[in-house]
Structure 1
């Protein structure tokens, strides 16, 4: 009788564990887009201060130009322990002119996501490929040459 109870309890625990692994989770990441607020930003009439009041601070600004503001919203889904997959993404790109006024407003979706697959063994690079010994002994004689840092 005890062994039958133990078997049934083990089956229930096993089923609960397997059910937990099979759950899919949805998650929102980034900015929460409000369609009425994003369409309220007008080219030529709004500036940085009014955009910040309307939409808040951007998710990030441009690396090379601080006049590019990006608002990124992403919906992901993950199955058990696997990496999350993007199912929906919206990027609102607002570009300002030199005076701080809105110059353009663009909205894109997940079609622009780049899938980068690195090489398995080596990442190919441009330039000359060196052997092990060239890498090991290649700097001999280059130390303390005139014009290099550390030379007198």
Structure 2
């Protein structure tokens, strides 16, 4: 009589272990960093009234964007998100830093903005557009007869 039971048990255990590893790897979150998340120790190095634009660029990196109407305002925007499977990404960390310069290019203020954007005016209104509100059926039926009128038919000889 052969003893194949322990070998079979080891093979099934190894298969279960591999399958568990594949499942665990599939559940590993995907972390994405967008923008420039300025570290606190780098931010502490910037001294208002002392450092110039080039100093700030050297210490913090290039800004994410400049002010639309005031090029003397630099914004450093950074966000870290984590996505698990098919779920929407979840924001793990978010940081907004505003550096304002005077006309001579010397930093005047360095501010951390609340990540909840309470300090930034944000409007959620929709732009009104003119036009007709039609259902999908009205749109399809409205095109019937529009493209093949009697005057536009080709004559065949």
TM-score (norm 2): 0.58
Partner of 1:105: 110
Aligned to 1:54, the other structure's residue is in SS state: helix
2:98 is paired with a residue whose SS is strand
Give structure 1 stretches of 5+ with no counterpart.
Answer: 137-152
Note the C-alpha offset of 1:109: 4.2
Which of 47, 62, 67 aligns to 2:67? It is 62
Relative to structure 1, is the Cα distance of residues 107 and 124 closer, same or farther in structure 2, using a 3 angstrom cutoff?
closer
CA distance in 1 between counterparts of 2:57 and 2:128 reads 43
Radius of gyration: which is bigger?
2
Report the 3-state secondary structure (helix = DSSP H, G, I; strand = E; otherwise coil) of the residue aligned with 1:28.
strand
Are residue 84 (structure 1) and residue 128 (structure 2) matched?
no
CA distance change for structure 1 residues 131 and 25 in 2, over 3 Å: closer, same or farther?
A: closer
Structure 2 residues not aligned, in runs of 5+: 1-7, 135-141, 143-157
Q: CA RMSD in A?
A: 3.7
Report how many residues are paired.
126
Q: Could you tell me which residue of structure 2 aligns to residue 45 of structure 1?
A: 50
**Mapped partners of 1:12, 1:105: distance in 2:** 52
Instruction: For residue 94 of structure 1, report the CA deviation from its aligned partner.
Output: 0.3
Q: 1:72 maps to which residue? A: 77
Distance of aligned partners of 1:18 and 1:54 in 2 relative to their CA distance in 1, 3 Å threshold: closer
- Say whether 1:35 aligns with 2:37: no
1:126 aligned partner: 128
TM-score normalized with structure 1 length: 0.59
Distance 1:88 1:109, change over 3 A: farther
